[in-house]
Amino acid sequence: MSRINGFLGRRDFLKFASVVGIAATSFGDSFWNLEQTAVADIHPVNPNQISPDEAVRRLLDGNQRFIQQKRQYPDQSLERLRSVAKAQYPFAAILGCADSRVPAEIVFDQGLGDLFVVRVAGNVVSDTVIGSLEYSTAVLGSQLIVVLGHRRCGAVAEAIKNEPLPGRIGLIIESIKPSVERVKFSTGDNMQDVVIANIQYQTEKLQESSTILAKFLREGKLKILGACYDIDTGKVNIIT
């Protein structure tokens, strides 16, 4: 497989992913060993790579600056713009809710090229989300993925209501309903309990649904964490 600037080329990665999907569907478990071998070839050498723990520290430090209104607005200069136009090396990937009040780059006080962000209502995991995050890890070299939910999430509220919804909105809500079941008999703040349960559920689903991510996790080259954003205070809390 060819590499550009030390990274697996985008076309080669997409071609590889397509072949893996077709072969796995056709041959099932017999394809596992071949897939494992192929996956081993795609981890990039990121010249700006930092450890998962350092990535978490950077995010939480940035969030503290945001809360305290001491933002540094890093990596937003014209020089940075020109630099990342040549290649991107995000130090973390974020799977966040599409809610307009939770823009990851702002709440973590980061700039151009720092974060690889995937946003969808309810921060739910789907095939396209998994593919995007596999790309952030296997091609771009990010070693941290954060599943970022938030308090009073509208998608979670709809899942709790369990009422019919128009169009394809219901597809998103169906992906959250297992989280509602997890806290069905709990006491306390049911809404917040389901928000937390959904973050945990989507984090687990992400880890269990990708051969590529699972391999990096086993090798200690990737950490996947859940986090919850408080829309009243701006604070991000890591969910264990």
In the sheet where 115-119 sits, what is the strand order? 115-119, 92-96, 144-150, 223-229, 236-239
6: pLDDT strictly greater than 60: no
Domain boundaries, the chain: 1-42, 48-239
- Which CATH architecture best describes the domain 48-239? 3-Layer(aba) Sandwich (3.40)
Distance from the first to the final alpha carbon of the chain: 37
pLDDT tens readout for residues 80-113: 999 999 999 999 999 999 999 999 999 999 999 9
**DSSP assignments along 7-34, one per residue:** EE-HHHHHHHHHHHHHHHHHHGGGGHHH
Number of alpha helices (DSSP H) and beta strands (DSSP E) in the chain: 11, 7
Largest CA distance in the chain: 55
Q: What is the pLDDT of residue 104?
A: 98
Global pTM?
0.82
Q: What is the pLDDT of residue 185?
A: 73
Q: What is the pLDDT of residue 13?
A: 55
Q: What is the pLDDT of residue 15?
A: 57
